[in-house]
Every structure is written in structure tokens, then in C-alpha cells.
Chain A
Amino acid sequence: MSRFSKTLMALMVAAAATSFVTPAAAFDRYQGVGRPATAAEVKAWDIDVRPDFVGLPTGKGTVDQGVELWETHCASCHGAFGESNEVFTPLVGGTTLDDIKTGHVKSLVTGSSPQRTTLMKVPTVATLFDYIQRAMPWTAPKSLKPDETYAILAYLLNLADVVPADYELSDQNIREVQERMPNRNGMTTDHGMWPGAPLAKGGLGNGGKPDTKNVACMKDCKKEVQIVSFLPDYAQDAHGNLAEQNRPVGQTRGKQTGEPSAAAGGGTQTAAAAALALAGEKGCMACHGVANKIVGPGYNEILAKYKGQADIETKLIAKLKAGGQGVWGAVPMPPQGHVKDEELKQLVQWILEGAKAQ
């Protein structure tokens, strides 16, 4: 958020309002290049919220309001309780009331949590506000109003027991919430990987001192070579056929780790393959499997349900555009505004033809 003083801002706006005349000195060297930004322009883009809450918009929202917003905007990816591991790593879990007291998440040491959740890591509540405001929801970033962001954040924090169920989070009390963040004391900058000035000179870290000290030994550097890890047999083909990922000439060849694929044999892409690729590209496959339910129904289930119905193509396209909830359970499907009409048509036709891979 801008640190620009209000007086200077007003002066600049006045200058900008008359014409985009370059103010003295600043632009002298490269005349005619660039112009002052208007106050409205800065406001439109300068949305960051720093850990010290510089840039935090005023507003408020309750946990209850957050529940409803969460169902609509967040649950399809993150699960109703922020616990889902289907699309992204879980947001919530692995923190305790004791962690809230100490500010250190113990499961990071013990390894007792199967996943490192967001709430286990994030030290600063402002980071969560900033990120939700700038990047969420996934397919419609920056569409949340400040009060909605407060409410969603309140619900998320409630899921981790940072705030009680009847809490109203606001710009007035968010500093108190910071004092309950489970991993607020969990960060260190005592390392050599900050590329600027060290802490002692107003920067961060130890000034670039590395934490490993190998030496360039050339002869008889160790007695024996101990192989401590290798790729197990079952994982040999997990990355496809390596023969097709190497050049067909040269000093080596790639190892055959599977059947030669049709794609490697050339030929043009079929309509089905193109639609499958599109479904991947547009994020459909994150929630729908070809033959299985993930968050939403599998394409096979959709086909089975609607097959033969009149005008089903148009209806399904409308459903994709508007989003929906209820037909397949409580988790709503958000509106797919990022997919073009002709692409929606291509996807629906593909589903209705059995969602084939080739």
C-alpha cells in the first residue's frame, strides 16, 4: 500500500487533472516517457496488505457469513471445512490450541500431520487477507468485496480454532487475531539466502554466509560409495515411456519404460483428444473424472443421467456457464466464466459422446 502522503497525493491529482504534464525533475532524463499515475489508478491496483497491516481496507465479517460465502466460492476446491486434499493441499489441520499459545506449530517438528497445511505454516494473518483478496476465488479472482474477505477469513480462522464461532473479524480486531496465529513465531531469516543487505544493515539474514562447506577433494575422497536411495521398480514407468522422451540419435537412447504411445507415432489429434486436453486446460479434470466422481460427478455419471433428454446440449452448456448446486450433492459447481461458448459446446459434446480419450 502506498506510503504517499495525502498532501502530495492531492497535489499530484490536481496536476494530473489539468493535464498529464510531467512534474519537475523526475522525468527529465527521458522526456516524453511515462506519466504520473492518478489517485484512482493507484487505488485500483495497490491492493497489497503488509504483515503490519499497512494497506488493510476497513470492513468486517462474521464466521456465520463466512460459512455461506465459503459454500459458494471456496468449498468446491478446498472442501466444506478447508480439509480437502483433492485439488489443493489442505488449508486447515495439524495445529493445536497449544500451538496458538506458543506460536510454534509442534507437528512441524514431530511430523504428526500427514500434510503441511496452510494454517500450519502461515505466520501472518495479513498474508491470508492479502491473498484471498487478490487471488480468490480460483476462477474469479478479485471479485470479493472487503467485507466478504473478512467473513471468509473469519470462517477459515474458526476452522483452526483461532477465533470462536461467534466471532466478527474486522480491521479493528485483526491485530489481536495475529497474536493467536499458530505459527506466528515459526519463521527465521537467519540464513544466507537473502540477496540484499544483512539484518545488521537494515536488511534480512546473515549477509550471504552459506550453511554447507564442501571442499573440492580430488583423490581418495572417501573409502566407499554408499547408495542410499534409488527409484523402486514400481515407479519406473510412472513418468511414461522414457524412450519417447529422448532423442532418437546421439550417444544414448531413452529406456523403454512402457508401450510406445499413439501420440509418439504422430498423426493428427482426434476431436476427443482435443476435448480431453481442453478439459484439462480449463480445470474441469480437477473436480470431474472421466469414469469417476472426484468433487463433482464423473463424465460417465453425467452421460448416464442425461442421455437421450431433449435439448440436453443447450441445457448443460447453460449449467456450466451459470454454475449449479444440488443435483449432485451439496458442493456447488462455480460458474465457469473463463471458458468460451464454443469451448463449452466442444466439452459438452465430448461428454455426451462418452468422454473418450482418443
Chain B
Amino acid sequence: MANSEFRLGRIQPAPENFLTDEQIQSVKEGRRDFLRKAFLGASAAMMAPAVARAAGEGDPAILNLPSWTTSLGLPVATHPYGLPSKYERGLVRRESPGLTRVGGSSVSFTPLQGLFGIVTPSGLHFERHHQGWHDIDPSQHRLMINGMVKTNSVFTMDDLMRLPSVSRIHFIECGANTGMEWGNVAVPTVQYSHGMLSCSEFTGVPLKAILDMCGADYKKGRFILAEGADGSSMTRTIPMEMVESGEVLVAYGMNGEMLRPENGYPLRLVVPGVQGVSWVKWLRRIEVGDKPWGAKDEAVHYIDLMPDGQHRQYSSVQECKSVITTPSGGQILLDKGFYNVSGMAWSGRGKITRVDVSTDGGINWRQARLETPVLSKAVTRFNIDWVWDGKPAILQSRAVDDTGFVQPGYGQLRAARGTKSIYHNNAIQSWKVVESGEVSNVQVL
């Protein structure tokens, strides 16, 4: 195209003239030899890149008018609740085979490799259930407040949805996200390595307002217990300081609609910056107390094993972390040339201030662009230009938050916590690119 003759005011002639003789020849010869090998066995329609085949008369996708241009489309409300295109069906929540043995106590991962921006589509929000999920009748759901309060109280959904509401965008990340990778590479793609991460706009009532109504004893009651209405009635301890800051929400809305049942319909707790297990779903009760509760998910699970055999208990904050989502593991680059390296960064302590990207495994770094909005305790999208020369490369991203904390490498993280910690792995992720264009998951020092 760069060499083509182009004169203003003149109708473009036959497509051959868009290309130089050299370019036409290269298309005829199939300059994507490496690609053909990589795609061997793949069905052509699904897998072959949509190269504008300009040889001959031109691109059949242009010359032969497609059916959607020459026929009547479907009427409104064909799908009263809209669905993604059928061509997007590969981008769904998936389990990691062998990770768990019971679907009711398991995880499904968000397909980060295909997402844009910062908001996770509600149907792709990752799932973690401790004893299965239910679709609860909201008219029968109750929230009880008890413990160190003047008045033990009950609220219906009608009550809660009458109160002044706020809407805020926050990330939620499971404490075990990237947990399979503590010791070594275990999974092929970013869906499984980082997909227990989602980011949504949540709507609800600050818990502080509700505790005020009940006359909470803020002097003595420095902890709250949140409890779910599901079979597991999962419980977690949360510091009163977070409630007092006004950021902990009793939420019923997610991305403009009610919460999805898998995410806690009709009510869940939102605890910004803290691991997902504390965002108790199907929230039925908040108790105010003067000591932490040592619940099963604070005394058996969600505890971080250190090399000296001690477990860190009540470790809750998700520290600063980032990952490149494309190009990422299990993907193939189509050709040499320009790429938009894109990823997500987040911190449980505040805003992302900077993300750097390396294409040589961490020897040299360049600062990426942060896309707006950049919000506290929310996913921030970053992008950076990259021209791939066809040679091996290792892509990494490294985030910094507004406390000045810099995301650690694997060497630093393991020096501090060993290799058996399971939870809170926020190490720099590496994606290796080889000459064929294949991208794979590696760990580097």
C-alpha cells in the first residue's frame, strides 16, 4: 500500500493496483509459511487469518455480496435478553481440569484472553462456589445485623433498595488466582493463570449506613463477620476500619442489572481491594464483634504457607499485579510486524500509577499507556505498541501502584514466601514468543 500510486479525485481502479508486483507475488507464494505449519489440521474457515486476498479480481468477501447484505435480517426482540455472537462461543467460563473434583466446590475462570477495557461482561464473571449456587427468590431474602449493635435488625430487599445507593467500579480477584503457578508453570493460558479476576460496576448501600441505623458499637466492635445464605453459609472476618471508610458495600447491582445468581443474587458484600472470598455472596447476616472469627476459610483455607511451616492467617489484601492478556499463552501471532500489546493492572491498595512492559524477558522496559478510567481498586487497561521482528521474545508487564509498590518478580516473591504458598501470587507473568509465532507460558528469573 505504501508504494501504491494514489491520486486524489480519481476512482480507484482494479484491486491489483493497490499492490505492488512484489506484494502480489508474495501473497501468491504464501509468505506465511510458518503460519501454515502452525495451523496444520485446523479448519480453514475457523483458523486461517482473514488475509485480504487481493490476487486476481480482488477479495471475494468484497466482490461477492454476502447473504447479510442481500437479505432481510431478524426482527427486534428475537432475543429478549441479548446474547453474544455465535462466533464468540469459544470465549466462555471454563474449569481447569483436575483442579477440583466437585463442581459445587470449584472455580470457573474468566476468558481474559478475549476481553477488552476494564469491565467484565456479567456472564463471564468468574465463579467460585463453596457448596453450589442457588437462584434465590429476592422477596424471601433477608439481611440480619446483630452482635455489638444497639438493635439487632432485619432488612428486606425492599428496604435495602430504598436506601441511598452508590455505584462503583472495582476488581474482584480470588486469593488463589495464579495459585497453580506458585511452584512452576502449570497452565497454558491467561484464562487459567489469571482468570479468577473480574471487574464490574457494583451498586448498593455502604454497609456503614446500615450499621449506623442499627447503632453499631464502633468503639468495641472492631470486626465484622459476613455470612452467606447458601448451604455453606460461608463466613469471613472484615476489619471495621474498612466499613468505616464507606467503601464496603451491601450490593445488589452489577453492571447495570441485578447481580447474577452465580455472583450472589440478590445481595453480596463488596470489599474493594480484598480477595474475593470476603465478598460474601447471598449475604444474609452481618455480625459486629470484638475479635476475628477464625472461620473455616480463615483457618483451613485462604492461609498462606511460609517456608518455616507457619501459615499467614487473615491475609486479605490483593497486592499490585498485572498481566498481558494479548498476545498471551496459547495464542499464535499471525505474522511479523505491528502488534498492540494489551493487558490489565490492578492493586488492592489503590490506583495504578504506571505499567512497564518488557519484550526481552525483563532486561529492558518501556512505559505503557494507561487507558482511562484509572480508578482505585479497579482494573486499569494498559496498551503499548510493539513491532515483532519474527525473533524469539519474552513479554512481561510490571505494575506500580500509588503507594509506590512495584509488582515483584518470581525470584523476589519466592525469596519472601517460598513456593508452597498457594494464595496471593502477584508475580510478574512471562509469555515466551518463538519464531513460529506461538506464545507460551514460562517463568523467568
Contact = CB atoms under 8 A, between A and B. Distances in A.
B317 A280 contact: no
A186 B214 contact: no
Interface in B266-298: 271, 273-274, 284-285, 287, 289-296, 298
B260 interface: no
B63 interface: no
B332 A252 contact: yes
Most buried by B among A33, A111, A190, A208: A33
Interface residues of B, number: 151
Interface residues of A, number: 117
Interface in A201-229: 202-205, 208, 210-222, 225-229
Contact of A253 (B153, B154, B331, B348): B331
Given A216-B398, A227-B444, A253 B334 contact: yes
Contacts of B327: 251-252
Contacts, number: 393
A141 to B, nearest CB: 4
Interface in B78-129: 86-91, 94, 96-98, 101-105, 111, 113-114
B194 interface: no
B294 A245 contact: no
Contacts of A37: 144-146, 152-154
Nearest to A294: B101
A283 interface: yes
B311 A187 contact: yes
Interface string B178-222: 000000111111011000000000000000011011110000001
Interface string A256-275: 11001000101000000000
Contacts of A310: none
B152 A51 contact: no
B442 interface: yes
A29 B43 CA distance: 65
B114 A196 contact: no
Nearest to A85: B101
Given A193-B319, A225-B394, A3 B148 contact: yes
B293 A196 contact: no
B46 A42 contact: no
Contacts of A142: 231, 233
Given A87-B102, A212-B413, A255-B332, A45 B284 contact: yes
B443 A228 contact: yes
Contacts of A50: 289, 291, 293-294
B330 A257 contact: yes
A115 interface: no
A3 B217 CA distance: 11
A193 B213 contact: no
Contact of A252 (B101, B319, B331): B331
A217 B365 contact: yes
29 contacts: A27-B213, A41-B152, A45-B285, A109-B309, A121-B300, A127-B300, A130-B235, A134-B235, A135-B233, A141-B131, A141-B233, A183-B311, A187-B310, A193-B314, A195-B239, A212-B408, A213-B412, A225-B444, A227-B442, A245-B90, A245-B113, A245-B189, A247-B87, A251-B333, A252-B334, A253-B332, A260-B46, A264-B89, A286-B101
Interface of A: 2-4, 12, 23, 25-27, 29-30, 32-37, 41-42, 45-48, 50-52, 54, 86-88, 104-106, 108-109, 111, 116, 118, 121-124, 126-127, 130-131, 134-135, 138, 141-142, 183, 186-197, 202-205, 208, 210-222, 225-231, 235-236, 238-240, 242-257, 260, 264, 266, 280-281, 283, 285-286
